[in-house]
Amino acid sequence: MSGQEIEKLIKIIAKLPALGTRSARRIVLYLLKKKEGVLLPLIEALTGVAENIKTCEVCGNFDTLSPCSVCSSEKRDRSTVCVVQDVTDLWAMERVGFYRGQYHVLGGVLSALDGVSPEDLNIEKLLSRLAEGEITEVILALPATVDGQITVHYLVSRLKDTGVKITTLAQGIPVGAELDYMDEGTIQLAINSRKEM
Amino acid sequence: MSGQEIEKLIKIIAKLPALGTRSARRIVLYLLKKKEGVLLPLIEALTGVAENIKTCEVCGNFDTLSPCSVCSSEKRDRSTVCVVQDVTDLWAMERVGFYRGQYHVLGGVLSALDGVSPEDLNIEKLLSRLAEGEITEVILALPATVDGQITVHYLVSRLKDTGVKITTLAQGIPVGAELDYMDEGTIQLAINSRKEM
């Protein structure tokens, strides 16, 4: 018997994304073996996040403050807003550190299969932010999937009357990629969107 | 910015077995989205384990008690001890529920590559358990790897003077397996160890 408490913990961990029962067992065993070094710091970090992290009421980011540090920063451009699918995409953009504007987290993309309709996404809030008049450009940084592109088309149709400039991320061959390994759709798209040097 | 506290949590989770930075980010985002449903129960379960789980002083199992529920159970056979590599193997045996004897967790196997020598394993404790005289059979349930089998040979050489019966798990074709998919070593071993019907 591995104890009721251990079983309960394994069950919770097994339900986390990318994990299953087998990896949950390995993780719990690792935590039990490294109680001082890993388990206690993990509990402390989780408790810190649970107590202090809020959803930003403006953009949907997670931060200790609401409005978040991006929304409230004096140094960031308030005329551009980048629409992303999820907070992880916002984090990815921030890791690059190149973009200096605002964000808007949509909370997903439209999907007939998963039953995600426009009401399920954070679209009304985006429209009300645009209505304030400070934003002049909306960058749609949504995934290059069918659902992502359907969402782009839907958002373009909703936003075109606001008069703001709407852009999307460039698509093509990623940096460092070999043509041999690219799918045909990407190669075709890269040829169609070729640039003169 | 995703916040110092979130970054710290991602770093700890990324170091857990079977995880990396990317899956840690996904997990943290999932926890942030399901605070009441997952994050708080996870903290509670981790705290419960951290506060209550001990290493059994007799066999090395993890349990709320020491000696553990297996070692202290009146219903279990005290004449047989099953030597396993790690607590996960003990859990695997207990899930089957067929074995009714005692356990001894070795804490690893001998490995020249990883620098694991006999002193690093829980062998002396096993010898002192045998010296008490109650145990008549030792089942070596160690992995069917080179290191596992080297450890079996080493343990046999250490235990042969104690006079107890030493057995190992049967090796051969696993239940439900197709011959076509088995490696040659296993097939050869299964032929050599064939049984008369």
What residues contact B162, with CB distance under 8 A and at least 6 apart?
B127, B130, B131
Question: Has residue B173 been placed in a domain?
Answer: no
Cis check for the bond before B17: say yes or no (omega within 30 of 0).
Answer: no
Partners of A166 in the β-ladder: A138
Q: For residue B84, what is the domain's CATH number?
A: 3.40.1360.10
Boundary residue ending a domain (B37, B52, B67): B52
Q: What is the CATH number of the domain that holds A44?
A: 1.10.8
The reply to whether residue B6 touches residue A49, judged by beta carbons under 8 angstroms, is yes
The residue with tokens 């209505």 is: A131
- Tell which of B21, B42, B90 to mutate to test the A interface (max A CBs under 10 Å): B42
A47 CB neighbour count, 10 Å cutoff: 17
Q: Is residue B67 part of a domain?
A: no
Q: Give contacts of A3 with chain B, Cβ < 8 Å.
A: 53, 62-64, 69
The two three-digit tokens of residue A145, written as one number:
């999937």
What pTM did the predictor assign? 0.77
Q: Which residue has the tokens 């403050």?
A: A65
Q: Choose the mutation target among B8, B16, B75 for the interface with A, i.e. most A CBs under 10 Å.
A: B16
Q: Is residue B197 part of a domain?
A: no
Domains identified in chain A, total number:
2
Task: Say which of A26, A39, A70 has its CB closest to residue B17.
Answer: A26
Tell me the one-letter amino acid at A115: G
Cis peptide before B67 (omega within 30 of 0): yes
pLDDT in tens, chain A (197 residues): 457 889 999 999 999 998 999 999 999 999 999 999 999 999 999 999 999 999 999 999 999 888 999 999 999 999 999 999 999 899 888 888 889 999 999 999 999 998 999 999 999 999 999 999 899 999 999 988 899 999 999 999 999 888 899 998 888 888 888 888 888 888 888 888 887 77
What's the domain range around A34?
Answer: 3-52
Q: Which residues of B touch A27 (CB under 8 A)?
A: 16-19
Quote the CA–CA distance of B89 and B148 in Å, as a whole number. Answer: 13
A48 with A82, same domain: the answer is no
> DSSP code of A118?
G
Q: Is the dihedral of CA A79, A81, A82, A88 positive or negative?
A: positive
| Phi, psi dihedral angles at A55 (to 5 degrees) | -90, 130
CB spacing of A26 vs B2 below 8 angstroms: no
Cross-chain residue pair A31–B46, CB shorter than 8 Å: yes
Q: How many helices (H) and strands (E) does chain A have?
A: 8, 6
**Complex-level ipTM:** 0.78
- Tell me if A152 is assigned to some domain: yes
